[in-house]
Amino acid sequence: MIYVTGDMHGEFERFENKKLKRLTENDCLIVCGDFGFIWNDSQREKSLLTKIGSKRYKTLFVDGTHENFELLGSYPITELYGGRVQHINGNVYHLMRGEIYTIENKTFFTFGGGESHDKEFRRENGTWWKEEQPTADEMCYAKQNLEKHNLTVDYIITHQPSMNDMGMVIRHCTINPLSSFFEELSKNINYKKWYFGSLHQNKKLRRAQCLFTDIAKIT
Q: pLDDT tens-digit profile of 44-64? A: 999 999 999 999 999 999 999
Q: Indicate the length of the chain as a whole number.
A: 219
Task: Output 167 or 44, whichever has higher pLDDT.
Answer: 44
The SS3 call for residue 11 is: coil
Task: Spell out a b/e string for 164-202, using b for 16 or more CB atoms within 10 Å of the CB, else e.
Answer: bbbeebeeeeeeeebbebbbebbeebebebbbbbbbeee
3-state DSSP assignment of residue 35: coil
For residue 148, the SS3 value is helix
Residues 197/65, Cβ–Cβ less than 8 Å:
no
pLDDT band of 75, cuts 50, 70, 90: very high
- Mean pLDDT, range 18-25, rounded to an integer: 93
Determine the pLDDT at residue 197.
93
Q: Residue 168 above 60 pLDDT?
A: no
What's the CA gap between 219 and 216, in Å, rounded?
Answer: 9
Does pLDDT of 173 surpass 60?
A: no
- What is the number of domains present in the chain? 1
Q: Which domain holds residue 97?
A: 2-218
Q: State yes or no: pLDDT of 172 exceeds 60.
A: no
Which CATH number characterizes residue 208's domain? 3.60.21
